[in-house]
Structures are given as structure tokens and as C-alpha cells.
Amino acid sequence: MPDHSPLDLARRPRRLRRTPAVRALVEETVLRPQDFIAPLFVVEGKGKPEPIASMPGVFRRSITDLVKECRELAALGIPAVALFPKLDSRRKDAEGTAALHEDALVLRAVRAVKTAVPGLTVITDIALDPYTTHGHDGVLTRTGDDVDNDRTVSILTRMAVLHARAGVDFVAPSDMMDGRVGAIRRALDAAGFTHTGIVAYSAKFASAYYGPFREAVGSAKAAGTHLLGKDTYQLNPANRREALVEAALDAQEGADIVMVKPAGPYLDIIREVRNASDRPVAAYQVSGEYAQLHAAAKLGWLDLARTRHESLLAIKRAGADMILTYFAKDMAVALRG
């Protein structure tokens, strides 16, 4: 005889958690290799992959090595990569003119990857930060105290057409200038690239989590600080309504996919955009999110494999249809079991 009578409960949710089999049946979110987009860094030359101190396991790669990595990613079921060039500082100037060179590093990288692994979707960033000495995403106004919106947009539209010509599947404007998605869409269409898509960094916040990335592409060094202020164009982390406005504008202007960035600290934004938009939603688990898990794991304070999985599961559960993450390859390997 039990020494107590059972509680009179209409519902006992724990019945659905009793066994692994039942838990599997009621599982709502499942991660697959196809959910991930791998961001990759490319440099000139034929050197060995260069490690990035604050991003263990992430490298700046020569084009040859980049192609090799892309083959491996595709074989593991990763459907897409996002390419970021790191330029030698001597190639940078205040206007970011190297962004419009016909033979720019990123364009050669795109051609090499698309030739070697045609089925892999290639996405490139449209913004001037890898190319400017000041590290901003656009060109500055005459007084030098702000980024000139419209002049930047006209450069970015030309940049997007060059990328389309090199064969990218999607251009990803990450600059947060007003009106750039519409301008890029019109320029692509006028140049005959109606099939080239736009992944808009729509809700991109002025985040301190981009620090390691800025080391990786050298924009922090160019600017003399990891904490480069981009507050006049990137969103205030305090604001949610504004993120929805940006996502709606980008969709109206022709974005095929809208993005939220960073991801983990902005799950509420991912959910709001998912609910408000009929576009697929991408989320970018940025360099600082990656770095913090690695740092804690190195100290023995967190389990890397489990927190990695959980961090990405949370982003998908929040509503992301696809996730840019430096963990893409590790996840694809882990999910294969």
C-alpha cells in the first residue's frame, strides 16, 4: 500500500518524458546538417591555414585550402558557405576601393569554389569593412564622423553585381544602410542576374559579440579597436520594434531571406521576425558566441559538445530556418554519429 494517495491530476506531463522512445516521439525541434551555413575566411597566397586566436578551430585559408574545406563540408551535407575575405592592410583605403576590383580575392574564391563544388550554395558579404582603413562598412561623410548612406549604397550595388558575375548564389548585404536591398535588387536585375538571391542582414545589432570576427578579417586592427562604434547604422541592442521595421522593409525591397544577428542573445527577435515575416529567417551565431563556449570549455566550466548543440537547438526552436555558425562542420560530424 502506498503511504499516500495519488494526486488527482488531469494532466501529468512527465508521462511524455518517461523513456527515450517517448521523448523522441514528442521532440519538436531536430537539428540536421542541412540547417547550417559555414562562414569561412579566405586570404591571399598559398600559405598554411592561419589560426585565429579567439576562434579555436577557425582558420583563414588560401583559396586552394578553402576549396578543399568546401568539398569536405558538402560531403558532410552542409548546403552553404558564407565567404569573408581578409585583405592585406596595404590594399585598404578610406574608400574601400579594393571592393570593386575585378580580380578581388573574394571573387577569385567564389569562382574557385563554384567550379570545384557547383552544388554548394555560395553566399558573400556585401559591405566595405574588409576593405576600408577605418573598418566601417561604408564610406565616410565629408566631415568623417558618419557613414554616408547613399554613396555607400551606390558602391555596394556595383559590388553585388561583381559578386553575381563571379557566380554567387546569394549576396548578403551586411552593412545596414537604408535602401540597399532595393538598390541591389534593381542592379542585379538590370545586369541580368534575376536568379541571384539576396540574404539581407536585416536585424543586425551593434553588438560587442563581433570582436573575434573583427580580428579574423582585420577590421579591428585597421580601426585600432575591437569595439568600433557602428551605432549610427547597426541596430540598438535595446530595440525590438526597430528590428521588425528593418525586416519588413528588406522584405518589401526584395530580400529573399531575412537575417537576425547575433543569434543566441537575440532569440526574442528571431521569434518576432519569424512570426511577422513570410520569408525564410536566417540567424547568425556570431564569433563571440562561438568564442565564449570555447573559452568556458577550455577552462573546464562547460561541456563544449553539449552546449554547442543546445545553443543551436535554441536558435532553431526560436524560429530560425537556417543558421550561420562556426560550428557547422563540427555539428555535421557530430550529427552523423
Site of interaction with ligand PBG (CB under 6 A): 125, 127, 129, 137, 174, 210, 213-214, 230, 286-287
Segment (H or E) for 257: strand 257-261
Closer CB to ligand PBG, 109 or 286, in the complex: 286
CA distance 4 to 74: 59
State in angstroms the smallest separation of the CB of 175 from ligand PBG.
6
Which of 114, 261, 316, 329 is catalytic? The answer is: 261
Which of 204, 230, 316, 329 is catalytic? The answer is: 204
Closer CB to ligand PBG, 16 or 295, in the complex: 295
CA distance 2 to 139: 76
Closer CB to ligand PBG, 134 or 214, in the complex: 214
Distances from the Cα of 278 to the Cαs of 78, 263, 298, 321, 326, in angstroms? 24, 19, 40, 12, 27
State in angstroms the smallest separation of the CB of 127 from ligand PBG.
4
Of 306, 256, 315, nearest in space to 286 by CA:
315
Residues β-bridged to residue 126: 173
Closer CB to ligand PBG, 41 or 193, in the complex: 41
Closer CB to ligand PBG, 177 or 247, in the complex: 177
Tell me the residue nearest to ligand PBG as measured from the CB. Answer: 213
Write the CB contacts of 299 (distance below 8 Å, at least 6 apart in sequence).
none
Write the CB contacts of 226 (distance below 8 Å, at least 6 apart in sequence).
211, 214, 215, 220
Question: Strand, coil or helix: what is 279?
Answer: coil
State in angstroms the smallest separation of the CB of 192 from ligand PBG.
26
204 in active site: yes
Q: Using alpha carbons only, what angle is made at residue 45 by residues 158 and 72, rounded to the nearest 5 degrees?
A: 85
How far out from the chain centre does Cα 321 lie? 13
State in angstroms the smallest separation of the CB of 179 from ligand PBG.
17
State in angstroms the smallest separation of the CB of 234 from ligand PBG.
7
Closer CB to ligand PBG, 39 or 79, in the complex: 39
DSSP state of 127: -
State in angstroms the smallest separation of the CB of 33 from ligand PBG.
20
CA distance 219 to 331: 28
Residues β-bridged to residue 173: 126
Catalytic residues: 204, 261
